[in-house]
């Protein structure tokens, strides 16, 4: 164990939660090593397509047939195209085994998927933390009051835009000014809320700087330019990413060592000390193995890779994976149900248009089974919708065609669901007994699927969504089940779930492993349920909370 390989803390992963762990630990004075399996991506410097024009790309930035053929999984992602493909994991480079269809979308580089996320950020409500226990499928060891101040902590630093809507199903936060709805969306909002008193249409909350505050200027970030080219990396730092925000902030402390190209093989457990002592790493390029040591370890490799690392961290004490006395490691994987979509048109309003490419859209917090069980399915769904005026559909060639095609057509409406899925033991990941990747690490087997509850919830949304659009004054309403596989939502959660009982969970209320107290898991793997809200803001808040607890425990000699 050399001094050059020894740190106070190790963070595995540099994405949204890993970046927050690094920031908090470094600010508190801990010498922290952040291990990232992918290449380095430096803010501003390594966004090669960020300022290119459509004509600068061979295929005008589109998703080509070859890209789709070579990447049948990742090419399904809405953000994957010629302008952003360098930030996505290619299918053939990192294979996994689909026991059931599962689209695993990954980003292996410094910053991870924080360069690629959709940036929608809502707090969970008390009903999201309390509901699972009521419904009998999981009991969170924390409640909204435990995390409320930590939501504020991360919101102020990250920069979240939104309105103060005063809804108990969607708690208000510390917001920058919200983006505006366009005229048709405001009309739809008014019509829907007149007819349905329990269905509140609000503007989407997102991690974009509408009016940067001094803390954001200090980070080197500037106002969002509404370019909607976010998946290329933002040279303005207009949206929150590890690259533009938490990692540079941690670097300024002088306490951060950031090491890309470091594939984590496993966590080292010391049988005598009865705790983890370090991490076994394989160099991505040279394949050389090296051990790094620390007093505390944060596992933030993203949900499924966090499960993979822990399952592969075997020892005499933990033959089935680190901390896995319960046998539940890798189980209770859950996700968001995105299968329901509707489209419609809106007559009139042709004297109205909008400016810019806004990074969010109106949404409706869950109104199903909020206070008690009311339907034939458990839990509920959030609704998102938007109104746009695409170019008019014209035929012809030449100057006249060019002139006509610059005029907007009528209003088109789209609506989608974000449904909660129920964590089940049968939905799981495990290690392949015989297939390994090029670094000698077992490939992951995904066995995650929909159930009858998901089908009933989907059916309800498609019916209710049609009613909402009809009430809003829309025409030509069409509904569709995309039948997409789990995973494409990119909201995978679970496998290393929090809970009070070590027999039914792996982590306590501070995100510590029950049976290995100096290992913390604060990415999506820790979640005991999915709620209907987007999860990333909760990942951030949980991480900041756990990191501050870990530092205090370390100072007291409790770790």
Mean pLDDT of 185-193: 98
Say what the pLDDT of residue 351 is. 92
pLDDT tens digits, one per residue of 429-454: 999 999 999 999 999 999 999 999 99
Give yes or no for residue 407 having a pLDDT over 90.
no
pLDDT tens digits, one per residue of 196-225: 999 999 999 999 999 999 999 999 999 999
Give yes or no for residue 394 having a pLDDT over 80.
no
**405 pLDDT band (50/70/90 cuts)?**
confident
Distance, in Å, from the CA atom of 388 to the CA atom of 349, rounded to the nearest integer, reads 11
Say what the pLDDT of residue 3 is. 75
**506 pLDDT band (50/70/90 cuts)?**
very high
Residues 6 or more apart whose Cβ sits within 8 Å of residue 379: 131, 135, 366, 368, 369, 419, 420, 422, 453, 457, 532
Please give the helix or strand (H or E) that residue 383 lies within, else none.
strand 381-388
For the chain, the average pLDDT equals: 96
Say what the pLDDT of residue 205 is. 98
Say what the pLDDT of residue 139 is. 87
Say what the pLDDT of residue 1 is. 65
Say what the pLDDT of residue 401 is. 80
Say what the pLDDT of residue 399 is. 86
* List of domains in the chain: 3-158+239-336+423-444+490-555 (3.50.50.60), 162-204+339-421+450-484 (no CATH)
pTM: 0.97
Distance, in Å, from the CA atom of 523 to the CA atom of 535, rounded to the nearest integer, reads 10
Task: Give 53 or 355, the one with higher predicted confidence.
Answer: 53
Distance, in Å, from the CA atom of 337 to the CA atom of 352, rounded to the nearest integer, reads 34
Q: Cβ(129)–Cβ(524) under 8 Å?
A: no
**149 pLDDT band (50/70/90 cuts)?**
very high
Distance, in Å, from the CA atom of 456 to the CA atom of 465, rounded to the nearest integer, reads 14
Say what the pLDDT of residue 21 is. 98
């Amino acid at each position: 164990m050399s001094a050059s390989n020894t740190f106070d803390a190790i963070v595995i992963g540099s994405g949204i939660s890993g970046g927050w762990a690094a920031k908090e630990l470094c600010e508190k004075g801990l010498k922290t090593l952040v291990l990232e399996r992918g290449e380095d991506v430096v803010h501003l410097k390594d966004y090669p397509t960020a300022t290119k024009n459509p004509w600068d790309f061979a295929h005008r930035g589109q998703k080509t047939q070859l890209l789709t053929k070579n990447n049948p999984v990742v090419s399904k992602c809405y953000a994957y195209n010629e302008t952003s493909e360098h930030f996505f994991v290619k299918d053939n480079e990192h294979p996994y085994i689909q026991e059931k269809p599962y689209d695993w979308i990954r980003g292996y580089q410094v910053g991870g998927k924080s360069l690629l996320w959709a940036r929608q950020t809502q707090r969970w409500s008390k009903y999201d933390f309390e509901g699972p226990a009521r419904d009998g499928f999981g009991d969170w060891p924390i409640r909204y009051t435990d995390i409320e101040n930590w939501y504020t902590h991360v919101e102020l630093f990250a920069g979240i835009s939104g309105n103060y809507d005063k809804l108990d199903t969607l708690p208000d936060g510390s917001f920058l000014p919200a983006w505006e709805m366009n005229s048709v969306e405001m009309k739809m909002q008014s019509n829907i809320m007149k007819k349905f008193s329990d269905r509140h249409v609000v503007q989407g909350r997102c991690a974009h700087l509408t009016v940067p505050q001094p803390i954001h200027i200090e980070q080197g970030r500037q106002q969002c330019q509404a370019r909607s080219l976010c998946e290329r990396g933002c040279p303005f730092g207009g949206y929150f990413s590890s690259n533009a925000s938490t990692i540079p902030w941690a670097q300024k402390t002088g306490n951060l060592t950031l090491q890309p190209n470091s594939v984590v093989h496993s966590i080292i457990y010391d049988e005598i000390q009865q705790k983890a002592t370090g991490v076994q790493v394989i160099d991505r390029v040279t394949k050389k193995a090296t051990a790094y040591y620390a007093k505390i370890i944060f596992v933030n490799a993203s949900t499924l890779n966090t499960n993979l690392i822990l399952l592969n961290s075997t020892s005499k004490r933990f033959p089935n994976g680190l901390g896995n006395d319960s046998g539940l490691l890798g189980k209770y994987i859950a996700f968001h149900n995105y299968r329901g979509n509707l489209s419609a048109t809106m007559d009139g309003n042709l004297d109205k248009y909008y400016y810019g490419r806004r990074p969010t859209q109106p949404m409706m917090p869950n109104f199903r089974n909020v206070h008690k069980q009311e339907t034939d399915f458990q839990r509920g769904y959030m609704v998102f919708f938007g109104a746009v005026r695409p170019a008019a559909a014209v035929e012809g060639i030449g100057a006249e065609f060019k002139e006509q095609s610059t005029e907007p057509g009528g209003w088109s409406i789209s609506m989608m669901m974000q449904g909660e899925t129920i964590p089940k033991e049968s939905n799981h990941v495990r290690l392949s007994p015989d297939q390994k990747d090029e670094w000698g690490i077992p490939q992951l087997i995904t066995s995650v699927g929909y159930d009858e509850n998901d089908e009933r919830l989907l059916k309800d949304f498609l019916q209710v969504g049609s009613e909402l659009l009809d009430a809003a004054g829309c025409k030509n309403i069409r509904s569709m089940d995309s039948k997409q596989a789990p995973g494409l939502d990119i909201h995978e959660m679970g496998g290393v779930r929090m809970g009070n009982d070590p027999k039914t969970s792996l982590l306590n209320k501070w995100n510590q492993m029950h049976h290995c107290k100096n290992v913390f898991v604060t990415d999506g793997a820790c979640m005991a349920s999915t709620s209907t809200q987007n999860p990333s803001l909760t990942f951030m808040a949980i991480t900041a909370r756990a990191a501050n607890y870990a530092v205090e425990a370390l100072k007291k000699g409790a770790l």
